[in-house]
Amino acid sequence: MKAAGPRSGRMGRTRAERGPFFYRYRGWAILLWLLALMALTPLAARVTHDLTSSGFENPQSSAVWADTQAARMPGAAPTIFLAEKVGQAQAGADLAAVRLLGASTHPVGGVGTLIFTPPGASTVALSRRVAAQGGSLLPVDPKQMGAQIDQNISQTLRQSSMIALPLLILLLLLVYGSVAAALLPLAIALAGGLLGLAAVDLLETHITLSIYLTDIVSFLALGVGIDYALFISTRFRRALERPGASVVAAVSESMRTSGRSVAYSGLAVALAVATLLLGGDAYWQGLAVGGAVTVLAVLLATHTLLPAILSVLGRGINWGRLPRLGGGGGLFWPRLARFATRRRALALPAGLAILIALGVFGPSLNMRTEANPASLLPVTSPLAQASLVEQQVLGQGAVAPLLVVLHFRTPTTQVATWQAVAAVSAKLEGTADVASVESATTAGPPARIAAFYARPALLPPALHQALSRFSDFAKTPHTVLLVVVPTTGPNALLTRQLAARLASDLPGWVPAGTRTGVGGLVPLLNGFTQLTAQRLPWVLLAVAIVTLLVLGWATGSLVQAAIGLGLSALVALATAGVLVLTVQRGGFGLVPGPVDAAITPLIFALLFGLSMDYEVILLHRIQEHLTAGEEPVEAAASGLAGTGAMITGAGLVMAVAFAVLLVSPLEVMKTLAIGLTTAILLDTWVVRSLLVPSISASLGRAAYWPWRPPGRRARGT
């Protein structure tokens, strides 16, 4: 038999010589991505078209049923309007001109005039007059405020993107020291983010997704995309710096090492965000699905498009080198690594002291979503100012009344139905903390009201419209609505207590077999807050399980998984403390108030997910040094020295990506910015730079149990 001689040609090369798949087919990979992005850009651009500012309904709450029943009634047209850029004298003259008898006007600072019109009155002529004067007529109601919130979120996305991109480019130049290397992570992040938003656009036609996810998803994609591309491309550049190194070998090494770490990290972040599905309503479902899909889209870009581009660029990745900006941290990181691993008696207490000092405030975190829609708007918003005037004129509870819904066995054409309604109305008027009750029974005695509903075609249009607000003549012949205005505002504890008390007392005030419910923004959002508080422990438990499983799987070490979970929990507590000091107590110019329940679980889920990013990168590098034969203390120091600049640089990029959300006029976006920026900086500069190396060096080989370096395992040592 002949001995096999050396083979030549493509088929004769080994897999290592041919390179990874996306090295061999780099041209096709880049072309397919370009075609896909061209096709998906229109979808990503219209991502907000089917998103909603609602989705906060607790499916188990009777308030949802009450709101659903109330929404089936035509209702009266809005009666309170803001005439923007129109003075009170002009508005009064217009009101007289269109003969809206009984209307009143009230100035709203320098933004316009608040106009109260009688129920059922036509506002067509008034709207024309206001428009002729260069103003606009806006209804002052939750629907219009929701539309304003949607507009502010879209505006935030545009403004923050314009601020973030130049800052991120500058940071990447500082980290990389070359133009090509700095722009590459940004390109990967934008490609992955575009794919993620396009996927969200396709999903939103089938499931309810929240408008709030656009900012969150966009900047999460930008942050993790840059981080992942930074980790892989940094390893690629260092591999190329070795004497005799080839591009194919550098691509293979970077994807085998950093690419593997990034795969674990991306999976961890996606799973951590997906735990928000346990939130129990459409809002959390939207954030969970949107966030997880986007992270997976970014992960796809980093493992297909990035290696293809690296294969094409080769040594050209150093094009545009800026020597003074590069350097990876000089002597700083080796010195900090020696301090963290050799002077552990100082480094470990110092890191713990920072987290504990902030964490002592964490247990006082008060989480709640406020019911006043105007409180979600910036204080300078014309609608927010108009709502404040409305409260001053009509009372604090007028902006978010309680909707009492009664579903009788008897129809509204029977006197017995309206006798029961009159009895409930009397009970409500005598209830503490109730300012007024609006009911169809004010139009006459029960017999007369029943006659009205029996012959709706004979009613004058104004009366027909007014009565249809309380019970639709055809669609809801057994359902009656009463509008209860509390004495206190929608954010007050007394209002929440009143809503709960009415929900409890109503069944005893109505005939047997009558279904009752209390709807409106107060019980709706109170139910959301309660549901979120109930589900938050389960979300955190799921995140903890994900942390243990992913870190254990990625590192092979149960000890490091437990350490990572414990340190992330400390960061979460410290972040909660910062939210208490800033948002809850009104620091940095914020309006003091509870931390929004609509954002707090997201902060903690992302915190745990992103912390695993940096943990996996650091531990994998330490394990590489252990495999090479270094002792645990030296390996921990070498791991931090080699990754410290990259991890903190990536953390700073991520922090900037979220910090720019501070430009948003919405307090909820500012809360997200403060929470995530704090968490990322604490995680990268305190936990990964001090605590993990110190603890790993202190525990020695036990820190990696049951994992052992492959060489030692082979020798049985």
Residues 341, 440: one domain? no
**Which pairing describes strands 434-438 and 402-407: parallel, antiparallel, or unpaired?**
unpaired
435: enclosing H helix or E strand? strand 434-438
At 363, the amino acid letter reads P
CA pseudo-torsion sign 235, 241, 243, 245: positive
Confirm whether 334 is domain-assigned. yes
Residues 126, 166: one domain? no
CA nearest to 157, candidates 679, 665, 680, 677:
665
**Residue 357 burial (CB < 10 Å; 0-12/13-18/19+)?**
exposed
Instruction: Single out the residue in 99, 126, 143 at which a domain terminates.
Output: 143
Average pLDDT, the chain: 86
Please confirm whether the linkage preceding 378 is cis (ω < 30° from 0). Answer: no
Which residues on neighbouring strands pair with residue 515, listed in sequence order? 407
CA pseudo-torsion sign 496, 604, 214, 590: positive
Instruction: Single out the residue in 519, 546, 578 at which a domain terminates.
Output: 519
Angle formed by the axes of helices 344-359 and 667-682, nearest 10°: 160
Residues 338, 190: one domain? yes
Confirm whether 368 is domain-assigned. no
Residues 120, 224: one domain? no
Helices (H) and strands (E) in the chain, counts: 26, 8
Confirm whether 54 is domain-assigned. no
Residues 456, 590: one domain? no
Whether 577 and 570 have beta carbons less than 8 Å apart is answered as no
pLDDT of residue 356: 97
Whether 622 and 564 have beta carbons less than 8 Å apart is answered as no
Residues 340, 427: one domain? no
Q: Please give the tally of structural domains in the chain.
A: 3
Residues 322, 456: one domain? no
Whether the per-residue pLDDT at 101 is higher than 50: the answer is no
Q: How confident is the model at residue 54 (pLDDT cuts 50, 70, 90)?
A: low
Confirm whether 83 is domain-assigned. yes
Report d(CA 480, CA 516) in Å as an integer: 10
Q: CA 494 → CA 60, 432, 517, 644, distances in Å?
A: 23, 10, 19, 52
Instruction: Single out the residue in 106, 125, 143 at which a domain terminates.
Output: 143
- For 556-627, where are the alpha helices, taking DSSP H only? 558-579, 600-627
Residues 567, 703: one domain? yes
- In three-state secondary structure terms, 406 is strand
Report d(CA 526, CA 517) in Å as an integer: 14
CA nearest to 121, candidates 144, 146, 104:
104
Angle formed by the axes of helices 600-627 and 632-659, nearest 10°: 150
Which residues on neighbouring strands pair with residue 115, listed in sequence order? 81, 105
Confirm whether 33 is domain-assigned. no
CA nearest to 657, candidates 207, 275, 217:
217
CATH of the domain at 84: 3.30.70
Domain that holds residue 573: 144-360+525-715
Q: How confident is the model at residue 325 (pLDDT cuts 50, 70, 90)?
A: very low
Whether 386 and 409 have beta carbons less than 8 Å apart is answered as no
21: enclosing H helix or E strand? helix 21-24
Whether 629 and 714 have beta carbons less than 8 Å apart is answered as no
Residues 548, 666: one domain? yes
Confirm whether 585 is domain-assigned. yes
Q: How confident is the model at residue 654 (pLDDT cuts 50, 70, 90)?
A: confident
116: enclosing H helix or E strand? strand 112-116
636: enclosing H helix or E strand? helix 632-659
Whether the per-residue pLDDT at 50 is higher than 80: the answer is no
Across 83-97, average pLDDT: 65
Residues 425, 564: one domain? no
CA nearest to 40, candidates 263, 205, 193, 209:
193
Whether the per-residue pLDDT at 514 is higher than 60: the answer is yes
CATH of the domain at 529: 1.20.1640.10
Confirm whether 688 is domain-assigned. yes
Residue-wise pLDDT tens digits, 659-704:
988 888 888 888 989 999 999 999 999 999 999 999 999 999 999 9
Residues 195, 151: one domain? yes
Three-state secondary structure of 137-203 = EEECCHHHHHHHHHHHHHHHHHHHHHHHHHHHHHHHHHHHCEHHHHHHHHHHHHHHHHHHHHHHHHH
pLDDT of residue 158: 75
Whether 486 and 433 have beta carbons less than 8 Å apart is answered as yes
Q: How confident is the model at residue 465 (pLDDT cuts 50, 70, 90)?
A: confident
Report d(CA 172, CA 317) in Å as an integer: 13
Residue-wise pLDDT tens digits, 138-170:
888 888 887 887 777 777 777 877 888 888 888
At 340, the amino acid letter reads A
Residue 585, both tokens: 């107590």
139: which residues sit within 8 A by CB, 6+ positions away?
Answer: 78, 80, 81, 82
pLDDT of residue 377: 83
Residues 542, 691: one domain? yes
Residue 318, both tokens: 């150093």
Confirm whether 447 is domain-assigned. yes
pLDDT of residue 144: 85
